[in-house]
Chain A
Amino acid sequence: MAAKKEADIRFSKFGTVSFTAITKVNDFVDFLEQGKVMGSRCKDCGLMFFPPRADCHNCLAGNMEWFEVTGKGKLVSYSSLAFAPIGFGDDLPYTIALVDYGQYKVFARLSPGLKPEDVSVGMEMKTVANRLPNGQLNYVFERA
């Protein structure tokens, strides 16, 4: 009897608490381990996706390649939380934020070292891979 194939649940490593274990873009987590934040680009029509996706809704195809999120973006907005959902309390205080790279935007947190009073809308930011105290992986914004 053949051994049962083990499920690829790499995505359960993403974020303080992951709500998704299996996705066709599981390689995203391996890139994070290597310090890279990656989006996906449709090889047929050139659309760039962040967060990455396995399928292009424009071409109805899955002919994708990875690209790395590099360079500077502009801070669109942010909010610092005084309360957290269940499972996130140990991370408080933290600040969620959105950064615009022009062709795509990235939603994440500010780096724990950055206080909300240190940033303002329009400020230039960069996105970096991050390991959380509980061993999970995510990405955060730092001043560019």
Chain B
Amino acid sequence: MGKVAIIGVGQSSFVRGYAGSIRELAFEGFREAVKDAGITSKDIGASIICSAPEYDKQRSPAGVFAEYLGLVPQPTCYLESLCSSSSMGLRMAYSLVASGLHDSVAVIGFQKMSEISSAESQERMGRGADIQWESPFGTMMPAYYAMYAQAHMAKYGTRPEDLALIRVKASTYGQINEKAVYRKAVSLEMFSDPGSPMSGPVASPLRVGDCCANADGSSCVIVTNEEKARSLSKKPVWILGLGAASAPVNLAGRDLFTGLSVARQAADQAYKMAGVTPKDIDVAEVHDCFTIAEMMAYEDLGFAEAGQGKELIRAKETYKEGRIPVNVDGGLLSKGHPIGATGGSQIRTIVLQLRGEAGAMQVKNPEIGLVHNIGGVGLYGNVSILGR
């Protein structure tokens, strides 16, 4: 079985209230990826369209997008695993290419969240949990992650200020990422300033500043076999390892509340497949839908021992110049989190980093990068390891 490469990446700007329809939004990420790869729509053998359902009126968006993007009559389908949809799309594209069924596949992620109100959006996200047994208690995504934060604080002495430091880091890079939805600085002081919106309570112990920015956006990743990658691309990035796992949807079915079992399992698989260890990772994108999620990712991915994630951020080791740079594009916290597009955007960031094309966000000479993308509250987890 030959190697599988990524030869093109693209994303739209992540924005509030995208002024266009979902097919037009998808076109933006797709166009950038196709131009990046230096190919045409005709070179793409199949497409996988990824998003979290119920944000749009359009049923079965795959066919609509394929037609609009010039990907007809090639096969297309819709795939979802909530916020990790496009990383799951990468996994499926890998298997379609590695099997020899297709020599190239486009993974297209999108989300237009602004067509519904914030309260409606929270209600839909809440229904990504167990609607029979948990949603009737009035659950929301931030409150679930807040329960993980509370447990992490109780067990390890992690402080709210440690979480705030993660948001401060995200804003450092959100300010220099022209595709980020939140471009402003966030300081630690804002979290204790009652006059700052960042300090407002959401779900204890999480505050407004601990939560990612909703956004509209699209992303696209073009995956090919080795032969096609070598003939088409000067700088192919290879998919070295892929891991994926699921967990009980109901918190009552879980055993771990200071980390995400899906992340640990997916990371183990991906490290093993790639034949690398956490120490070999030069740059990472992790799923920081909430600050606590990045803290747990440090530990679940093996960048820090369990409970020691706070030391990493206190020492700024996850900044661009640190030992293991994490989310130096602003992350979900500042770049924004258009659910179905998020994984593809994380992959794009790592591909650009490995090619040395990340501009002001470039870390020094990375060879191996990692993408950690979580769906729901640790319901689905994907870890992908990429290399030059």
Contacts and interface: CB of A to CB of B under 8 A. Distances in A.
Contacts of B205: 79
Nearest to B122: A85
B132 A86 contact: no
Nearest to A18: B136
A48 B109 CA distance: 40
Interface string A88-116: 10010010111000001111110000001
A76 B254 CA distance: 11
B134 interface: yes
A122 interface: yes
B203 A105 contact: no
A83 B132 contact: no
Contact of B140 (A85, A97, A116): A85
Interface residues of B, number: 39
B119 A79 contact: no
13 contacts: A14-B136, A17-B136, A19-B135, A76-B147, A77-B154, A83-B122, A83-B202, A83-B203, A85-B122, A88-B138, A98-B257, A107-B250, A116-B204
B251 interface: yes
B360 interface: no
A20 B132 contact: yes
A76 B136 contact: no
Pairs of residues from A and B, 8 with the lowest C-beta to C-beta distance, nearest first: A15-B136, A88-B138, A79-B146, A121-B154, A77-B151, A19-B131, A82-B201, A77-B147
Interface string A45-63: 0000011000000000000
B254 to A, nearest CB: 8
B280 interface: no
Contacts of A83: 119, 122, 140, 202-203
Contacts of B243: none
Contacts of A86: 119-120, 122-123
A81 B138 contact: yes
Given A19-B135, A19-B136, A105 B252 contact: yes
Given A14-B136, A15-B136, A16-B136, A107 B251 contact: yes
B252 A104 contact: yes
B259 to A, nearest CB: 13
Interface residues of A, number: 40
Interface in B103-150: 119-120, 122-123, 126-127, 131-140, 143-144, 146-150
A84 interface: yes
A138 interface: yes
A70 interface: no
Given A98-B257, A107-B252, A138 B204 contact: no
Contact of A51 (B132, B138, B200, B257): B132
Interface in B195-220: 200-206
Contacts of A78: 147, 150
Given A80-B203, A85-B123, A98-B251, A51 B133 contact: yes
B136 A138 contact: yes
Contacts of A109: 137-138
A94 B132 CA distance: 19
A100 to B, nearest CB: 9
A138 B122 CA distance: 22
Output the residue of A77, A82, A83, A120 with the most chain B CB within 10 A.
A77
B252 A51 contact: yes
Contact of A96 (B132, B143, B200, B201): B143
A108 B147 CA distance: 12
Contacts of B146: 79
Interface string A1-45: 000000000010011111110010000000000000000000000
A80 B147 CA distance: 9
A29 to B, nearest CB: 11
B150 A121 contact: yes
Contact of A81 (B140, B150, B252, B257): B140
Contact of B119 (A76, A85, A91, A116): A85
Given A85-B122, A107-B252, A116-B204, A77 B136 contact: no
A17 B155 CA distance: 33
Nearest to B258: A77
Contacts of A18: 136
Contacts of B147: 76-79, 96-98
Given A50-B252, A77-B151, A85-B122, A96 B135 contact: no
Given A82-B203, A83-B202, A19 B127 contact: yes
